[in-house]
Chain A
Amino acid sequence: MAEGCTRLEIERQKLRVHSSLEQPKTPEDLRARQLRARDLLRGDLEGADLDAYVEERVVTSTLEKVLNTARANSIFPATFGLACCAIEMMSTVSPRYDIARFGAEAFRASPRQADLLILSGRVSIKMAPVVRRIYDQMLEPKWAISMGACSSSGGMFSNYAVVQGADKFMPVDVHVPGCPPRPEALLYGFNKLQEKIRGNPTPGWRSRYNAHGTEEWARGGPASKPSEEALEAYEKAREVLGA
């Protein structure tokens, strides 16, 4: 490949599944498996054979984890566009960016059937009660992504008509920066939300700024309580500012 070329060279590799459910290598192998499955169904498998068969095929987990995994991988966003960010939101559904890879391609036209509200654009103070009502109409469990600078902080609309950040009137799980964010950015934010739903959100800036424990939980989770380090950092900042 020429120097500075933007194209990538792709090495083709055979995909290998590293689990006990490895693909059978030969037709004989496959046949042996089929026979064992038939024996199990007939009730012919006993003792060590049965144990080995079960161990090969069963994964144990907690109910919560399974539920959360299922929820994270089948989110139904609400069809709800506010402004120009909605154009980017629409293109995330298109085959080029394809939010269907993460199981959220079915945008529901009713908030009653939706899990996720993407605030795609500026929220004017006249629209705020409407957005809040739509959010309240969604059934639990529900999440919200604030997409773009305007719905996160008011953005360039620092004026009398626009709410300075949608989290003033409703809980927001993920803020996606950008004006407007590219579809990839929205997908990244969506992946962050999935991690949050699965129960292990990445600390992100909190690890850099020593602010573990300052997370705010809208519902469910542990009570919001700043950590020792965060409190110390806060006091130090207050001293520096002389407040």
Chain B
Amino acid sequence: MKPPPFGYSRPESVAEAVAVLGSAAPDGKVLAGGQSLLPLLNMRLATPGHLVDINRLGELGFVRVDDGEVVIGALARHAEVLADPAATRAQPLIGQALALVAHPVIRNRGTTVGSIVHADPAGEMTAVLALLGGSVLLAGSSGERLVNAEDFFLGPLESDVRPDELATLVRLPVLGPRAGCAFAEVSRRLGDYAVCGVAALAELDEAGGVSRARAAYLSVAGTPLVLDLTEAGGDPASAGRLAKSRVAPAADIHATAAYRRHLAGVLTERALAGALTHARERAGG
């Protein structure tokens, strides 16, 4: 199918984009990479009155590491973030997750900030933002505001971006010196939506014990679910059992609820084991 008719603007600055969004609200929609929005338009699942195309805002096409955070601009494509050695070295979970986002051709066009704003419960980068406790900077007609990950995801495909706001960047904390991370997911084919996915983060204390372990889950809840697994004491198998008892996934055409719960357990065990190994390597153990 073809997209429905809509108005179109292609602003040349963030200020202009915000002004257009403000005048089009509540019927405006930001177009960045379009790898989620265009399918929704083509299938007529979305019918925005006005598209604000931010593809000329080169000022937002950055990836940088500063002050303990990886900062990703709204026009940085997944492929550009994945190919940024400084970013993926500072926070390896970004590279681990992005390698699982769709196919390379989709990553060439899709933006990391856009996929986070899209808030798909099956999105890898939404889980990364939630697990790391990152934040999203929103520019609107009444100024800027920074929204923390725990407040950002409101529901499936619903994030805390108001109709007159543009998400200009996301901030993701870098990985600590005694911490490790890993990503594990199961999809029918490489690049497909995950039936279930787990991002794990483990931190070690000075003695090498596990001081903190957490995991974020995709495709098991309407928003990225984050579980604290510290009480499992660094035992991946018991963390897997813990996770299995705490998730309440829904069934759909791709998997039964029971299978998703099973995967949550197995993938927790794998991801946490990977994160612990990674943390021990980094801690020099």
Q: Are A and B co-members of a single complex?
A: no
Question: Which residues of B are at the interface with A, using a C-beta cutoff of 8 A?
Answer: none
Question: Which residues of A are at the interface with B, using a C-beta cutoff of 8 A?
Answer: none
